[in-house]
Amino acid sequence: MIHPTAIVHPEARIGADCEIGPYCIIGPHVELGDGCRLHAHVVIDGHTRLGRGNEIFPFASLGLRSQDLKWTGGLTRTEIGDGNTFREGVTVHSATAEGGVTRIGSHNHFLAHAHVAHDCQVGNHVIMSNFAGLAGHVVIEDYAVLGGYVAVHQFCRIGTLAMLGGCTKVRQDVVPYMLVDGDPGQTRAVNKIGLERRGVSPEVQAALKQAHRILFREQLAIPNALARIEQELPPLPELRHLIEFVRTSQRGICR
């Protein structure tokens, strides 16, 4: 179902049961999986591939050239999984350097005017609320939630099941399972509501609360805090992930 006012390049690959609404523009190197729905005035260009069942609302723009001033040409890609929602005015840009990829997983929700910059890597089941923005090379793990107007600095990482309050300014990595708020972003507590909604057991929640106290409240150097977490708390997968995330941080963590 392609509206007569839509412009779809003859070389674009359009899957079965796609709907392309009025005034949409689809470039020659675009691939849409089965069942995608483009409401109206949607632009998808560049070497961009979408999986199945994505829904894109008016004035969203996916896969266009990076805004990075270091861009000098070359083939870059945007890869998007299945079942994502891109609301009005969302922008997702392609990578900067030759062979680079901006990658988005599946079942994410990007609310109106959210922005995903070049070379970002977004996992699955992520929510970016209105006007939340990612600078280049940001990594967001699964089930993270970004409130409205959140701003994330280049090369930062947002851990799984982290929650960022509205208008938070993120300049360092956000530790998994934590609640961060403020300018600059500070870790306030464990993301208890998010953990409960995901069905995380009381045992794991209690261990994460203890880890939060050691890492963020006892004013220890990070290596000492991680050593205490390993010595005093059970070797749960969630704690192992938290420890590895902090140890591999390049920018430091929001404390």
- DSSP sequence for the chain: -B-TT-EE-TTSEE-TT-EE-TT-EE-TTEEE-TT-EE-SS-EE-SEEEE-SS-EE-TT-EEEEPP--TT------EEEE-SS-EE-TT-EEE--SSTT-EEEE-SS-EE-TT-EE-TT-EE-SS-EE-TT-EE-TT-EE-TT-EE-TT-EE-TT-EE-TT-EE-TT-EE-SBBPTTEEEETTTTEEEEE-HHHHHHTT--HHHHHHHHHHHHHHHTS---HHHHHHHHHHHS---HHHHHHHHHHHT-SS-B--
Q: Is 74 a catalytic residue?
A: no
Q: Is 136 a catalytic residue?
A: yes
What is the share, in percent, of the chain residues with pLDDT greater than 90?
A: 100
Among the options 39, 45, 53, 119, which is catalytic?
Answer: 119
The average confidence (pLDDT) of the chain is 98
Among the options 46, 53, 136, 185, which is catalytic?
Answer: 136
Average pLDDT over residues 182-205: 97
The domains found in the chain, sorted by start residue, are 7-137 (2.160.10.10), 196-247 (1.20.1180.10)
Yes or no: say if 4 and 20 are a contact pair by the CB < 8 Å rule.
no
Average pLDDT over residues 216-234: 97
Among the options 29, 39, 113, 118, which is catalytic?
Answer: 118
The confidence score (pLDDT) of residue 176 equals 98
Q: 175 pLDDT band (50/70/90 cuts)? A: very high
The confidence score (pLDDT) of residue 14 equals 98
The confidence score (pLDDT) of residue 2 equals 97
Q: Is 118 a catalytic residue?
A: yes
The confidence score (pLDDT) of residue 215 equals 98
What is the share, in percent, of the chain residues with pLDDT greater than 70?
A: 100
Q: Please state the pTM of the whole predicted model.
A: 0.97
